[in-house]
Amino acid sequence: MHSAFEAASRAHDSGDGGRAKQLSNEGHAHQARRDQLNDQAADWIFNANNRDKGPGEIDLHGLYVQEAIERTERAVQSAQGQGLQELRIITGKGIHSNQHIAKIKPAIENLMVKYNLEAHLDPHNTGVLVVNLVGGQGARSRDLGWVDRADRESADGECVIM
């Protein structure tokens, strides 16, 4: 893919527009194939990790952030469609992430805020996010760090700017 795009750029710079277009199309075909293979790999990883999970639990280990978000959205919709009251999302603690900084957990926490779903960390395993799928008191996110602080700090009616 990269070679085709680089060659297309060189062909364009040398004035060979036809060859540049051909190489650019080749690069885009390689890019589409790469994306297709990445999706297949993510599906394989997700399915392997969730083979033994029940309908109310998903494991996001091994996925990139965007892949985890997409599969979480599908899982939430599916669980709500099944009438489940909660979904346990295994995000991990970030132990295997670069510099041991969690990437998936904060992204999924933000997703729950975006969809106005109440969520909290499992008190026995902070690598698991428990999502209330049926709403509740305002269906707001709790125990997710800054959201909790913002709610407490704005209790006196003042606006909190983050």
Mean pLDDT of 132-157: 46
Indicate the range of 7-21, 52-66, 86-100 predicted with least confidence.
86-100
Residues 37 and 58 in one domain: no
How many domains is the chain partitioned into structurally?
Answer: 2
Buried b (16+ CB within 10 A) or exposed e, 41-74: ebeebbeebbeeeeebbbbbbbbeeebbbebbee
Would you say residue 86 has pLDDT above 50?
yes
Q: What is the DSSP letter of 126?
A: E
Residues 29 and 105 in one domain: no
Q: 88: helix, coil or strand?
A: strand
CATH code at position 134: 3.30.1370.110
Residues 37 and 112 in one domain: no
Range of the domain at 149: 53-153
Q: Tell me, what's the pLDDT at 145? A: 39
Would you say residue 60 has pLDDT above 90?
yes
Give the global pTM: 0.72
Residue in the block written with tokens 């926490």: 109
